[in-house]
Structures are given as C-alpha cells and as structure tokens.
Amino acid sequence: MSLQYVVRRVLLFLLIIWVGTSLIFFLPKLAPNRDPVAQRLGMLAATGGVNSDEIDAMVEAYRAKFGLDLPVWRQYLNYMGDMLRFDFNYSLAMYPATVIEIIGRAVPWSVGLLAVSTFFAFLLGSLLGGLLGWPRTPRIVHYISTPFLMMSSVPYYLLGLIVMYIFAFKLKWLPLGGGSQYGTMPSLSWTFIIDVVQHAILPALSMVIAGIGFWALSMRGMMVTTLGEDYVMLAEARGLSPRRIFFRYAMRNAILPQTTGLALSAGTILSGSLLVEVIFRYPGMGSVLYRAITSFDFFMIYGVVFFVVLTVGLATLMLDLIYPFLDPRIRYSRQ
C-alpha cells in the first residue's frame, strides 16, 4: 500500500469532516428568521428558572462568540475552534449537563448496536447472496430468501415497529424498549450483560432482517459477474472441487466490491439505526437526537450531527484502509 494512497484517504476524511462541520455552521445561517439559537437562548433566559444566573452567563458567552455584531468569518473561526476541541457547549434542555457528556454516554450504545447488527447483516447477507448467485444452490434457498430480498427495500424502523409489536407487545418475549432494565446500574455482571443483550435483540433484529436482503441483492449481482470470469471457468477445468471454487474463487472475489458498497452505505445504515433507536427508545445517539429535536436543544443537535459525521467518516476511512489488504491489485499497484 503506497503512502500516497493513505495520505489521499486521510485527506478525503478531513475534507468530509470539514464539509460536515461547516454545513452545521452555515445551514442555520440560511434560515429566514435570523439566529434560531439566539432566539432559543433568549427564550430560556426569559423563562428564567433555578439556574437563571448560569443561563445568563451562557447567553453572554454565546453572544461574545457568535453575536450578530461579529463578522461571519470570526464566528466561523470561533465555531471551528470549539468543534476541534469537542466543545459543543451545554445542553439547552438538560442544563447543566454538557453536550459532550451526554453524547459520551450515548456513543457506546449506538456503536455497539450498529457494529453488531451491521456485521451480522453483512455476513449473512453476503453469504446468502453468494448462494443465490451460485447455479448449484437448491431452489428451496431461492424460495426461502424471497421475503428477505423484498424486505431489503423497507426502512429499518418500520420493521422495528412490526417486530416490536409481535415479539414485545403481543408475545411479551422480549422487553419493549430501552437499553437495559430501568434502574439497573451498568456493571460487568452476567445479569447486566444478559439484560443488555435482551434489550438489544429486537432493534438489532430489525436492522439485520432488512440488511440481509440488501447485501444479498448486491452480492448476487456480483456473484453472477464473477462466475462469468475466465478464472472461474479455468478453476473448474483444473479439477477443483465446487466447494473450493465457491469460496476461494467466486465468493472471495465478489466480496471485494461488497466492501466498497459497505463504505458507501455507511451513512444510510447509520441514519437507519438512529431511527431504530428512536422507535425502541434505545439510549444511543438516535434517542438523544430525537429528544434534542423535540426540545429545540440546538447545541445538542449540532453535537450529535457532528458525531454522526465523524463516525461515518471514520468508518469509511477504516474500510478504505482495510481494502488494499483484501485486494492485492491495489496493494501492489505500481510500486
């Protein structure tokens, strides 16, 4: 892998973060009714409350950094400085908690759910897709997989509502929502782990079911293309067993574009998982975002959006850096 490749990928990553962060700054500026954040702050200050002094101080600090008397570029520099230091200010709705504290608590839940369900969806989906593209696969597999393929176009959270109704509400097999039993403290005990897993099953299931079909569809297409390659034909002529051809020659090569697909879909998958969290009241970033939206907690919204962009940016960067290890044509190109 050439250094140039790594540098270019890292530059692309930085570009993504920069564009994403700048959008968070500039998009609200386009709003017709001036600065919604200032408005919201003014409203909070007017209502007063227990911490009215601190709120006044916060409003003052905000005005010093982003007041309308400041030129936009100064505001932008102040803003970028804050972002680089991960300083997203206080949560407007859950004052005096800071945005970063709340996000810090939510991130592990989100990443855990997202990583596990994407892993299984990708793995099972690719395997199923491989089988569907393989001529020796029995017809029964095609029939069984049809519902999965159709489900691929359905948004995760709708499936979430359906599985929730069936398994939690009607059958009462699994908890209705949340990340763990209400009131339990996180610990490394078996009871807690089992509790967490039980709560994660339904949200994960709804993402995996829809995901399997999605990956199976694209894998099937890739598989058909790969099977038409000369090296697969020659592998058969060399007397290799069908098993060997399936795994080492067909699946191995068809999975490469799948990985690229995974990087390209990272944003969509993450968006979907945020909504699943909302449906299941799962204590991740999705629920935080949902609460922030309903309570006009702008600092919180911007903080979560920044983290979402960061997560997706990091995920694609990682996938892009792993890819050359899967594909020697890139690894060894023109050294």
Touching another protein, residues 8-37 (CB under 8 A): 8-9, 11-12, 15-16, 19-20, 23-24, 27-28, 31-32, 36
257 binds another protein (CB under 8 A): no
Q: Which is nearer to another protein, 158 or 192 (CB)?
A: 158
Give the separation between CA 219 and CA 130, rounded to whole angstroms: 6
288 binds another protein (CB under 8 A): no
Q: Which is nearer to another protein, 55 or 276 (CB)?
A: 276
Per-residue binder mask for another protein (CB under 8 A), 188-227, x = binder? ----------------------------------------
165 binds another protein (CB under 8 A): yes
99 binds another protein (CB under 8 A): no
Nearest to 128 by CA among 209, 219, 221, 225: 219
Q: How far is the CB of 174 from another protein (least distance, A)?
A: 14
User: Of these, 76, 86, 192, 290, which contacts another protein (CB under 8 A)?
Assistant: 290
User: Of these, 52, 142, 166, 252, which contacts another protein (CB under 8 A)?
Assistant: 252
Handedness of CA 277, 316, 105, 60 (dihedral sign): negative
Torsion from C-alpha of 182, 183, 187, 193, nearest 10 degrees = -20
CB 36 within 8 A of CB 28: yes
Q: How far is the CB of 270 from another protein (least distance, A)?
A: 5
Hunting for tokens 């007041």 — which residue is that? Answer: 67
Which letter does DSSP use for residue 96 in this model? T
Q: Which is nearer to another protein, 149 or 204 (CB)?
A: 149
248 binds another protein (CB under 8 A): yes
CB 41 within 8 A of CB 58: yes
Hunting for tokens 């099953």 — which residue is that? Answer: 201
- Please choose, out of 60-68, 96-104, 113-121, 272-280, the segment that lies near another protein by the rule CB under 8 A: 272-280
Give CB contacts under 8 A, 24+ apart, made by 61-70.
Answer: 62/37, 62/38, 62/89, 63/38, 66/35, 66/37, 66/38, 68/34, 68/35, 68/38
